[in-house]
Amino acid sequence: MRHRGHPKGALLALPSKWPPAAFALVVTCLIALFAQTSGAEAAKHGLALYGEPALPHSFDHLPYANPSAPKGGKLRLGMAGGYESLNPFNFKFAAAPQLLIGNVYQSLMARSQDEPYSMYALIAQSVELGPEREYVIFRLDPRARFSDRRPITAEDVLFSFELLKAKGRPGQRDAFSRVTRSEAADTHTVRFDLGKGADRELPLLLAAMPILSKTAVDSAHFDDVRMDIPVGSGPYLVKEAKAGERLVLARDSDYWAKDIPSQRGLYNFDEIDVSWYRDGGALFEALKGGLIDYREESSAARWLTAYDFPAKRDGRIVKDTLRPGRPVGMSGFVFNLRNKLFEDVALREAMAMMFDFEWVNANFYGGLYKRTTSYFEGSPFSSFGRPASEGERALLARFPDTVRQDALDGSWRPTIHDGSGRDREIARRAIRLVSQSGYKLTDKGLEKDGRPVAFEIMIRDRDEERLALNFSASLKRIGINAQPRLYDETQYQQRRRKFEYDMMIGQWLPSAVPGAEQAGRWSSASLDNQKGTNLAGASSLALDALIEALIGSKTPEEHVDAARALDRALLSGFYFVPLFFVDEIWTAHSATLERPSYLPHYPMYPFGFTLEQWWWKSEEIRND
């Protein structure tokens, strides 16, 4: 089972229940600290979705950074697939290395990976909110500059805003279009008016906006796939770029923000050398052969059995199991409802019933996995095992047939098999279910109106192939012909971006606090956004209304109610066949790589794309 699911990211191996400290942090952030002021807030060093950021104005560094970490040395990394562009912000963002974000390009404010949703000063040294969050004002740090040493001004901020609103990622276009007015009060001050009833997340989305150089970016050709060397404001410069094969970043020794608290102790390698490989198997061979220094293992079978190789035996490579406390999200076989074959929810439910997690977990993965039960797995926003609140029921009242009763009362759970690999009772139940919708099991298989239930499962590596073949065999027992088909990484990504698949294994990275990103995943407006993230082709008035309620929530209680109601609607719609997760992150790396002992609660990826918190503990390697 693949943990990574780029471009959007990976299914992280994380616990199904939060540690008490992590849960307390969310509750504190969403409830205890929630307050409205009677007038405009004074300029502050940070911004949170609810209440105040956890760190005070006087904080010295982020909790998971080591300000004493030595700097130096080269880090060699590997990634699967390839890349075609050095622009990660336009509509073709998936063709570019996402590791450019944060390393080369940086945003107005820096997100803390230790809090559900808080941001701290970076290019903007302070932020001011209106009393109802109807406007946000960013004041830029006069020291802020691009890698060509030109100062960052309000003009660059407004240029970036207008360009990304017109030609940026789908989520940016949608969010920035909700801004009613933008203006520069002076060279270092920018104000965005958000209108009455603006969603609480919008100020943070603006704070996360990458700042592009007005003089260096060719806005006329921003939509193109290009390999122009970028001019950013981050800690690294692009030293070498060979499309599809290699990217080398060199640390900027004169990085303007190196002593800002949100950056102190990070970005410790002098050089980051990234090579692209065909798939996860090739990446593993690169680790064994000493070609890369770090790898996250995506295969339970490989983690259990394949690490008896010379570099591991003699201690040059170590296995490191990590357990941060963020939620899990969803992974599963996703139905593409753009194919009318899947329009019957009873058929989708019957197919979901046939996935034999118990057998797969025991025979493929050594019992390491747990079953996924929610789109917000392992967080307070999960509806699993929780009866719907009055607030949820009020949201769902307009759509009485959207949520099934067992999802409403919290008793729904994925079908449990007997572990034999051939649970006949489950197969009989699945056939009875689809027969109520007019399907018949014939000598040719399962049919309706003479049309057989047959489709392709798009896969991209041998781990996915083994899982898909098992699922295909289970479906065959109820007359469904599902054929796995292996594509190379480039073909896979092209088909995914164009939604040219019947079924695939999809992953949704969890959000510590679900918000506007849900519109890109499930709303009717996102249905036809090519290269977007609505993998399932979901489109319904109920989902649209629940997403609107989520984005427009004004209190933590409303936010939780809307998220759980959305979770119940998604579970009832069987858009995915839920798969599984582990409560660990499996890593293997050079024994001379070091990391802080404190792990952030909500890493965007386990440690970023480029291990920004790590360092070489060997002086010889650092000086090599």
Q: Mind listing the pLDDT tens digit for each residue in 478-530?
A: 999 999 999 988 889 889 989 999 999 988 776 778 888 898 899 999 888 77
DSSP per position, 60-73:
-S-TT--TT-----
Cα separation values, 532 from 91, 111, 118, 129, 162, Å: 9, 23, 26, 31, 20
Banded pLDDT at 427 (limits 50, 70, 90): very high
Beta carbons within 10 angstroms of residue 425's beta carbon: 9
The C-alpha torsion from 442 through 448 and 452 to 453, rounded to 10°, is -110
Which helix (H) or strand (E) segment holds residue 129: the answer is strand 124-129
Structure tokens at 478: 């109820």
**393, 309: one domain:** no
**465, 378: one domain:** yes
Of 366, 379, 385, 375, which is closest to residue 327 (Cα–Cα)?
379
Banded pLDDT at 13 (limits 50, 70, 90): very low
Name the residue with higher pLDDT: 413 or 92: 413
* In a domain? residue 458: yes
* In a domain? residue 494: yes
**76, 204: one domain:** yes
Burial bucket for residue 588 (CB in 10 Å: 0-12, 13-18, 19+): buried
**605, 571: one domain:** no
Structure tokens at 227: 């390999």
**310, 196: one domain:** no
Task: Please give the pLDDT value at position 606.
Answer: 57
Q: Which residues contact 20 (CB under 8 A, 6 or more apart)?
A: none
Q: Residue 351: which CATH number?
A: 3.10.105.10
**313, 356: one domain:** no
| Chain centre to alpha carbon of residue 241 | 25
pLDDT in tens, 520-559: 899 999 888 776 789 999 999 999 999 999 988 888 899 9
Predicted confidence (pLDDT) at residue 10 exceeds the cutoff of 60:
no
pLDDT in tens, 351-401: 999 999 999 999 998 898 999 999 998 888 999 999 999 999 999 999 999
* In a domain? residue 49: yes
Q: How many domains does the chain have?
A: 3
Predicted confidence (pLDDT) at residue 322 exceeds the cutoff of 50:
yes
Q: Which residues contact 603 (CB under 8 A, 6 or more apart)?
A: 12, 113, 324, 326
pLDDT, mean of residues 55-83:
94
Q: What is the mean pLDDT of the chain?
A: 89
**305, 378: one domain:** no
Predicted confidence (pLDDT) at residue 422 exceeds the cutoff of 50:
yes
Banded pLDDT at 2 (limits 50, 70, 90): very low
Task: Please give the pLDDT value at position 556.
Answer: 87
**225, 342: one domain:** no
* In a domain? residue 285: yes
Domain boundary pick from 293, 322, 351: 322
| Chain centre to alpha carbon of residue 469 | 27
Q: Which residues contact 74 (CB under 8 A, 6 or more apart)?
A: 269, 270, 271, 272, 273, 624
* In a domain? residue 586: no
Q: In what order do the strands lie in the sheet with 294-296?
A: 294-296, 585-590, 317-322
* In a domain? residue 548: yes
Cα separation values, 442 from 447, 448, 480, 483, 580, Å: 7, 10, 11, 19, 33
Name the residue with higher pLDDT: 243 or 94: 243
Task: Please give the pLDDT value at position 21.
Answer: 46
Give SS3 for 35: coil
* In a domain? residue 2: no
**335, 483: one domain:** yes
Task: Please give the pLDDT value at position 350.
Answer: 97
Q: Peptide bond before 170: cis, by omega within 30 degrees of 0? A: no
Name the residue with higher pLDDT: 138 or 30: 138
106 in Cβ contact with 211 (< 8 Å): yes
Cα distance between residue 529 and residue 521, in whole Å: 10
**84, 206: one domain:** yes
Q: Residue 171: which CATH number?
A: 3.40.190.10
Task: Please give the pLDDT value at position 218.
Answer: 92
* In a domain? residue 269: yes
**270, 294: one domain:** no
**46, 185: one domain:** yes
Question: Where does 208-317 have alpha helices with state H?
Answer: 280-288, 300-305, 310-313
Which helix (H) or strand (E) segment holds residue 321: the answer is strand 317-322
Domain limits at 247?
A: 33-274+592-622
Task: Please give the pLDDT value at position 182.
Answer: 97
379: alpha, beta or left? (left if phi > 0; alpha if psi -120 to 50)? beta
Domain boundary pick from 263, 297, 322: 322
pLDDT, mean of residues 190-214:
92
Banded pLDDT at 32 (limits 50, 70, 90): very low
- Sign of the CA dihedral running 249, 251, 254, 260: positive
Cα distance between residue 462 and residue 279, in whole Å: 9
Of the listed ranges 10-19, 33-42, 245-254, the least confidently predicted one is 10-19
Banded pLDDT at 608 (limits 50, 70, 90): low
36: alpha, beta or left? (left if phi > 0; alpha if psi -120 to 50)? beta
